[in-house]
Amino acid sequence: MVYASALYFADELDRELEKFYVRHELDLKAMPRDRLRHFFRIKSYEDFQRLSQCLQIPDTISCDNRCQVSGEFALAVVLRRLAYPNRWRDCADLLGREATQLSRIFNATINFLYDKHGHLLRSLGQPWLGADNIAAYAAAVHRASGGRYDNCWAFVDGTARAICRPGRLQREYYSGHYRGHVIKFQSLVAPDGLIVNMYGPCEGRRHDMYMLGASKLRHRLRLRNLIWGKDYCIFGDKGYSISAEVQSPYKGGNISEAEIAFNLVMSKCRLIVELGFQRICTQFAFGNYRENQKLFWQQSAKAYLVSAVLANCLTCMYGFELVFQKFGLQPPSLETYLRF
């Protein structure tokens, strides 16, 4: 009872203090680079302007209550919110707006970014995924795997993002494997570190093979192979069944030493898909805070997909050193990726 009362009065105190915040204009140009990196994941104001222009952020963003703010400020709100677990009251002093307005700005900008650039995660028909690029991806995997594949160009896997226990459909979103409520996504990562495709969200009880079928990824890869002019494939873990489009390691306990060596080499190559998930989690860690991922109250899934697009943007701007050491490929420029 005492603990509940303390929480109530602490919340009331926060509400009272919020009334006296000092409104000011956010000046990113004068902000030190270490603070830009810490709060917005951008190394310089010039990089922030470049990102804003390539994302084609409009001059003004309109919220659902007809409040209008500049496009650069709206992008700063999104980057600050996604950078690390926080409350809107924690952001008010830095961003110079009260919590309710920041929430409206965030939702409006997330909707814009998803509607404008969500196709980058849905479609394989991107200009930077032409036949020459796919051939370069396959050559990189061929080198890294010791010549075991000459037609594998990407790696697929699923991930689970923890959410708050939902008020409804709890059985659907409960995962016995993770012992909690989650939403799942399927990701396809190329040897340059880019997430070239992401499907989701799916209910937490679903298996990776379900997501593979629901996304129709095999059929889409089959159609793209006709355009690329070669029977390319992707590689997954042991949870995937083998087909012409999707390969997986040898299964079972009675496998030869050569097959064990094959699994070991390909598992090291397949780590890049885990690094892709890790990059989202480290650069935009807001999605890691389970207590604030309220499925039917907030745009948790949409925010994660936008985080994946923004993580790709950072990869294009600053590279991905761990992936480069393994495969020796640099990602396309930010302008090429966003078709600016």
Q: List alpha helices for 174-216, DSSP H.
A: 208-214
Per-residue pLDDT at 289: 84
pLDDT at 22 over 80: no
Instruction: Give 127's contacts (C-beta < 8 A, 6+ positions apart).
Output: 336, 339
Reported as a single tens digit per residue, the pLDDT across 97-111 is: 989 999 999 999 999
109-145 exposure pattern, b = at least 16 Cβ within 10 A, e = fewer: bbebbbeebbebbeebebebbeeebbbbbbbbbbebb
User: What is the average pLDDT score of the chain?
Assistant: 90
The stretch 261-270 carries a mean pLDDT of 93
Tell me, what's the pLDDT at 11? 56
What integer is the mean pLDDT of 252-261? 90
In tens, the pLDDT along 268-295 reads 999 999 999 999 999 999 988 888 888 8
Report pLDDT digits (tens) over 184-239.
Answer: 999 999 999 999 999 999 999 999 999 999 999 999 999 999 999 999 999 999 99
pLDDT score recorded for residue 116: 96
Q: How far apart are CA 157 and CA 271, in angstroms?
A: 10
Residue 144 has pLDDT above 90, yes or no: yes
Closest CA to 122 of 308, 332, 261: 308
Q: What is the pLDDT of residue 1?
A: 53
> For the chain, how big is the Rg over CA atoms in Å?
22
Smallest Cα–Cα separation from 225: which of 144, 119, 129? 129
List the single range of 5-19, 68-82, 158-172, 275-289 with lowest mean pLDDT: 5-19
Above 50 in pLDDT, residue 7? no
Sign of dihedral through CA atoms 126, 131, 133, 139? positive
What are residue 162's DSSP bridge partners?
182
Identify the pLDDT of residue 12: 56
Statement: residue 16 has pLDDT above 60 = no
- Type of residue numbered 99: A
Domain ranges for the chain: 2-117, 120-331
Quick one: pLDDT band at residue 90, thresholds 50, 70, 90?
confident
Cβ atoms < 10 Å from Cβ of 12: 10
What are the residues facing 152 on neighbouring strands? 233
Label residue 167 by pLDDT band (50, 70, 90): confident
The token pair at 192 is 């340059």
The larger pLDDT score, comparing residue 192 to residue 340, is at 192
Q: What is the pTM of this model?
A: 0.90
pLDDT at 4 over 60: no
What integer pLDDT is reported at residue 21 of this predicted model? 52
More confident site: 113 or 299: 113
* pLDDT at position 89 over 90: no
Q: Are 137 and 154 in contact (CB under 8 A)?
A: yes
